[in-house]
Amino acid sequence: GDSVTQMEGPVTLSEEAFLTINCTYTATGYPSLFWYVQYPGEGLQLLLKATKADDKGSNKGFEATYRKETTSFHLEKGSVQVSDSAVYFCALRTPSGNTPLVFGKGTRLSVIA
């Protein structure tokens, strides 16, 4: 079945450091790919998405590129802030009917000043 694999956390970075959170997927067909963010005590918010190969999703300084050849969708940010501390989820959704989002296990990011 469809699945998403994320790098294990937690990830701890100093402010202004470069962030990469790896995400790879297994899916039939051509899924849409998403990154969601969950701040402490809150629900999940859509951070960015890409719906076809080579698309780049971006938002709030975060970027991820849909790489079909490596089945990856790694999340990057050039300079993290303390306010970026959260749990990040990679997810996919395949185009067959009302398929649910399939999530990775989440990666907790802590940014220290």
Partner 1 sequence: DTAVSQTPKYLVTQMGNDKSIKCEQNLGHDTMYWYKQDSKKFLKIMFSYNNKELIINETVPNRFSPKSPDKAHLNLHINSLELGDSAVYFCASSQGLHDYGYTFGSGTRLTVV
Please tell me whether residue 36 binds partner 1 under the rule CB under 8 A.
yes
Please tell me whether residue 66 binds partner 1 under the rule CB under 8 A.
no
Q: Which of 7, 11, 17, 87 lies at the binding interface for partner 1 (CB under 8 A)? A: 87
Q: Which stretch binds partner 1 (CB under 8 A): 18-26, 62-70, 74-82, 93-101?
A: 93-101
Amino acid at 78: G
37 burial level (CB within 10 Å; 0-12, 13-18, 19+): buried
Q: Which of 3, 26, 46, 61 lies at the binding interface for partner 1 (CB under 8 A)? A: 46
Please tell me whether residue 68 binds partner 1 under the rule CB under 8 A.
no
Nearer to partner 1 (CB atom), residue 57 or residue 74:
57
* Interacting residue ranges for partner 1, rule: CB under 8 A: 31-32, 34, 36, 38, 42-46, 49, 51, 87, 89, 91, 93-103, 105-106, 108
